[in-house]
Each structure stands twice: as structure tokens, then as C-alpha cells.
Structure 1
Amino acid sequence: MGTMSKEHRVGIADVAAAAAVSVTTVSHVLSGRRPVSERTKAKVLRVIEELGYRPDPSARGLRTGRSHAVALVVSDVTNPFYPLMAAGMQEVLQPEGFLISVCTAQGTTQDLDSVIDHLLNRRVDGVVLASLNAQDRHFNDITAAGTALVRLSGELDPRFGDIVRADDTGGMADVVAHLLERGYRRIGLVNGESDSAPGQLRLAGYHRALREFGLDVDEDLIVTESFTRTGGANGSHTLLNLNPKPEALVCGNDLMAVGAMDAIRERGLTVPGDVAVTGYDDIEAASLVTPRLTTVHNPALEIGRACARLLLDRLSGTPSEGVREVVLPQKLIVREST
């Protein structure tokens, strides 16, 4: 059986004619939603391969009312955590025929407003909202438009979609406890944005660990910067100017920790000889810097997979009692920086 000419786009009617079946039968084979005999299914699939037929996503969207597009909205596309999360989403969604776009909403909440407006105008089927500055009104805008939402922050609220989160408070408590068990007592925190969920939860973990060891929190040892390498360097310089300086710096993420190492070296000090450093997330760079970074493994791939599964459940109409929350465990990774 020959293929169609390059000038002719193979359509579902061509497949039906070549397989000697109805267009409806071909549609059922493609969608998998109606039973078709194995013999007929095999014949249709063979013809599809021979003709090089590819379903038209826009036409399918018109029939189903779906765009088969999903967006991941992040705060910093250069942070290696988010590409890993997107890869996890792709593992689950791509075999189901969904395309994933990654959108960046840096800076103000107005930036996020614009991104969400654009996505809703494009009629995406679902949004995974991982932006650090997401607020209740953003959740409401998405769900009010009938768009499936999974978020990485916020309180359990049946109006605002499902939640996937890692145990940021427990993870930060573990890394601070690790330092305390090694004898460090003057421990500085170089944290990310205080109005973000990770910033708030990781600060709570820092407080928890000190409290459990019977220590008071010294507010002078806590600084807030952006979740970036530059933010980590700036915050570390602030703390290293103290007298006495901190014995260890706990950072809000690995990028900040790399910045902390920069600041320590600029002062002619060593890690961990003069100041120990810890990070958070366990991105690839954590095991490549010298010394290798003690950190908390934040399961970005599995977070992405979990978000995608929840979206698919919502889009398929799977019954659910209210909002669902998936909390994934984190793991302390001890390396040479402590």
C-alpha cells in the first residue's frame, strides 16, 4: 500500500477508506473510548502507520472542547528545579496527548496576573502553579474559568484546586538539626522571599529545630533575599559582617548556597573550615561544587509526576471528595560542606 503524496495531508477519512472501515471506527481506535475488535484495531493501526497519519490537535480540540495544552507557571525558569519538575509532568502527560508549556512569572504579582490572563485566553486545559508569588486570587481566577488547577502553595481550600507539596518545614528542620548535632550553635539563615510558601515553611523548619534543641532564635541571624545565587551571596555578606560571625549558614535553596560559598571565599574563608554551608533542593550543582553541598533532596521529578496525575484525574472527571493534597517526603543529603 503506497503513501499519500506530500501535497495531501492524510486525514481520518483517508485512513477509514484504506482500512475499509467507517470514520467512526477509526475515531474509536484513536480515542480508545469504545470497544473495537482486536482484528479491526490492528488493521486500522497498520494503515495509520503506512499512511503516516497524525491526528490534528486543533480539530480534536474542536470536537472535545479540549486544547490538550497544560501550562507550568514558575518564578525562575533558570532554576534547575523547575526543568526537572517539567520533565516529570511530561512523563505522565505526553503519552496522553498533552503538550506542556513552561511560563515564567518573575517579579510582581501583576506579572503573574498577565501570565494567567494569557493562559486562560488560550484556553489551556490545566495549570500547575509553582510561582512563588501566587495568591488566592490567582487560584480563584483559574478555577472560576473552569480550568483544572494544581498548585504548590496555599491552604487546603475546595475552591482552589489540588495541592502537591514537599515537607519543606520538616526538611529544613532536618538540615538544621544535622548542624546542631555536629556542634554548631551560631547558625545563620539565608532565606528566600518571606512572602513565598517555601520561604515561610523553611523558616518554620529553622525555628522548629532550634526550639527542639532548647535554643532561642536570634533574629539578627536571619536574612531574607531572593532565591538566587546573587541573593545568597548578598545575604551571606550581611551575616558574615556580624561579630561574632555565624559558624554555619543554612540557605533557602542550593543556588543561594552556591552564592554563600562565593561570599565566604571572597573573604578568604573556607567551607566548612571557617563556615559550614547547607542548601536545599539537591539540584545537580549541589554535587558538582567544591566542597560538595550538604542539602535536602526535594523530589522535583516526582512532584511533577504527582501534579500531572492530579490534572489527568480532574480532566477525566474522576470523582473526588473535595481538594486533594499530596505531600512528598524529603531526604537529608550529607556531603562535605558541613
Structure 2
Amino acid sequence: MPKVGGRVGIGDVAAAAGVSTTTVSHVLSGNRPVRASTRAQVEAAIRKLGYRPDPSARSLRIQRTENVALVVPDITNPFFPQLAAGMQDILHPEGYLISVSDAALPVRSLDAVVQHLLDRRMDGIVMAPHFATPMHHTRIAESGAKLVRLSGSIDDGLGDIVRSDDTAGVAGVVRHLVERGYRRIAFINGEVTAEPGRLRIAGYRRGLSEAGLDYDEDLVKTETFTRDGGMNGAQSLLRRGARQPDAIVCANDLIAVGAMDALRRRGLSIPGDIALTGYDDIEAAALLSPSLTTVHNPAREIGRSCARLLLDRLADGYDGPPRDVVLPNRLIPRESS
């Protein structure tokens, strides 16, 4: 039976098995050969006492905490839980614990989040906040924690990058709409100070250029990557009267949900009066009515790739140059276009 009134220690196991603590340690680590009969005695004592290794002692021994953090800009966005699940797929079997930190407030909040994680000696940090600065990345890298970023460009010393091709993804959405006869194609973006905002509007401009359509600043609204942002952006576009758009491209699915709310309040049908598209392919996109045309941004596989890169550096000792992993995305045509 497990020890009553306190944690079972290695000394308790040794006493129950009639061996030294050194022998128990060798059985647990597997670093030294132990006679089969002795190993069986120790393992039987472990089962009887319910012994579990002290994780803090293991951390001291291997010089790692086996804790990894994911920092996100908005934990309510369904894209990020899927990314965390992908990390978990890879890291949990290897004994790593994942913490998710929301840095949804201004940069001062991100400063506090980063300091909090560094104080707790995270082995690795995956940074998703769109407003993270080189200062944040440098602080993490200089702490010795392994860093993976979800945007930006390769920079020696600032860790690996995992991303999908946002610019090509949005250009493909514009191409899809043009092929269906839409010409007054508007765009509701999130913050342009954020990397996804810059890349996705670049894709919008590329798609228009490839179709021979002019870029019209009046058809572009910059909001936030939220449902409220989509509502505000769509309402502004609808004030154009007869010159209102015949299609709206949204920089993510949450923006598209807000835009859908605004169109319905005006009594407009989708896609009969205005077509609508999103980006990310969160689960709700297929459940909306009409279902949302969007770009599948492979959140779970992005998370898995981040975890593999961290493990390469933490467990396998990779110390080479930073890597830039670009995962494919794909258009998911549905009823809204």
C-alpha cells in the first residue's frame, strides 16, 4: 500500500526491497546493469508502495524542468487550442508538461508573461503573439530556453519558425472569388502591426493584381482579429451604398463570423447579395449557416511541428542553424461563396 502521511521516497523502496538506495536508483535510471532477480524485487516494492519519482529531483539530474510554454494572443480563438493539442500529441509522451499563457493585453502584458515563464525556467517557449518584438525573442533566447516562433523571418539566435504561407493562402481566396464572377472584393484585416495582418493583406493585393483588378483603399478595413472586428469592418463597408462590395475576404474566421452578423442585421443574404470568406478553418466554420468558405490553416500540425523542433534541440541535442518550416494550406470552398 502507498505510504500514509507523506510521499514515498527512494529510501522507502530500498527498505521494502532489502537493497541499497543506489541499487534502486540504478533500476530507475537504467544506466547501470542490475541482476534480474534484484530488479524484480525493486519493481515489486515500487508497485506495492505506489512510488513515483520526484520530478524536481529528476529536473536537477537532467538539468531540465521538462516544462514547455505556448504563448498565444487570444486563448478564445479556437485556432490556438488546436495548436496546443498538436504540441501535446508530441510532447506529452516524452514527459513534457505544456502551459498555455494568454497575452491578449498590450505589450506590457506580454513583458510580464515572458518574465513569468523565464522565472519558472521553461525548457522551451512557442511564441504566437502577433505583437511580440525582437526584444521578447532575444530575452527568451538569452535565457537558454529554446524558442519557436509562429511568424517572422529567420534570424540567427532567435530560434526556429513554423508557419503556413499566409500570403499565398489569401491570394488563393481572391482567385477563387474572381473565378466565380466577383469583382468588388473587399478585405477586413486584423492589426497590420501583427505579422499575419501584414502577410494576409499582401495576399489580398497579390490576388487582385493577378486578376487585373485595382486595389481600392476604400474596400479595405483594418480592425482586430476578433468577431467584433469583423462586425465593425463589415458595417463600415456597408455604408458605401450602391458601391458596397459583392464579396468580402476576412483575415480570419472570427472576423468572418462578425461580418456575417453585420450582413444578417442588414437583411443581406450570403452569398446571394455578398459572398464571404474566412481564414484558419476553425471547427465552427463548417457549422455556420451558410457554411464558411475559408483557408485550412493546419493548426494541429503546426503545433506538432513546433514540438518536434523543440525536442530536436532539447532531447536530441540539435544545435544547428535556425529552421524555417512552411506548412501547406488549402482552400476549403463552402456555401458562403
Q: TM-score range by the shorter chain?
A: over 0.9
- Name the stretch that deviates more: 47-56 or 98-107: 47-56
Using the alignment, how far apart are the partners of 2:40 and 2:180 within structure 1? 64
2:111 partner letter = D
Aligned to 2:330: 331
Post-superposition offset of 1:189? 0.4
The residue aligned with 2:98 is 100
Offset at residue 302 of structure 1 (A): 0.8
1:38-73 deviations in whole A, cap 9, x for unaligned?
947676555433432222222222333322211110
- Structure 2 residue aligned with 1:154: 152
TM-score between both structures, scaled by the size of structure 1: 0.93
Alignment of 1:1-338 (within 5 A): 3-19=1-17, 23-24=21-22, 26-27=24-25, 29-31=27-29, 34=31, 36=33, 39=36, 44-45=42-43, 47-243=45-241, 244-338=243-337
Residues 211 and 64 (structure 1 numbering): CA distance in 2 closer, same or farther, change over 3 Å? same
CA pair 318-290 structure 1, distance change in 2 beyond 3 A = same
C-alpha change, 1:262 and 1:17, in structure 2 (3 Å) is same
**RMSD between superposed Cα atoms in Å:** 2.0
Task: Look up the SS of the partner of 1:171 in the other structure.
Answer: helix
Cα distance change of structure 1 residues 19 and 179 upon mapping to structure 2, 3 Å threshold: farther
SS, match of residue 161 in structure 2: strand
User: Structure 1 residues 133 and 185 mapped into 2: Cα distance closer, same or farther (>3 Å)?
Assistant: same
CA contact (8 A) 1:25 1:36 kept: no
TM-score (norm 2): 0.93
Q: What is the number of equivalent residue pairs in this alignment?
A: 335
CA contact (8 A) 2:197 2:251 kept: yes
Counterpart CA distance in 2 for 1:25 and 1:215 is 76
Q: Residue deviations 1:182-219, cap 9 Å, x none?
A: 11111000011101111111111111111111222111
Change (3 A) 1:200 1:38: farther
* 2:160–2:322 CA contact under 8 A, matched in 1: yes
Counterpart CA distance in 1 for 2:128 and 2:57 is 30
For the residues of structure 2 that align with 1:22 and 1:234, how far apart are their CA atoms?
Answer: 70
User: For 1:87-121, what per-residue CA distance to the aligned partner results, in whole angstroms no more than 9, with x for missing partners?
Assistant: 11111111222111111111322211111011111
Counterpart residue identity of residue 303, structure 2: G
CA positional deviation for 1:181: 0.8
Taking a change above 3 Å as real, the CA distance of residues 211 and 129 of structure 1, as seen in their structure-2 partners, is same
- Relative distance call for 1:261 and 1:41 in structure 2 (3 A) is farther
* C-alpha separation in 2, matches of 1:116 and 1:138: 7
**C-alpha distance in structure 1 between counterparts of 2:305 and 2:20, whole Å:** 38
Whole-angstrom CA distance in 1 between matches of 2:28 and 2:209: 58
Q: Which runs of 5+ in 2 are unaligned?
A: none
- Runs of at least 4 residues off by over 6 Å: 40-43
Residues 25/247 of structure 1: CA separation in 2 closer, same or farther (3 Å cut): farther
Deviation at 1:318, TM superposition (A): 2.3
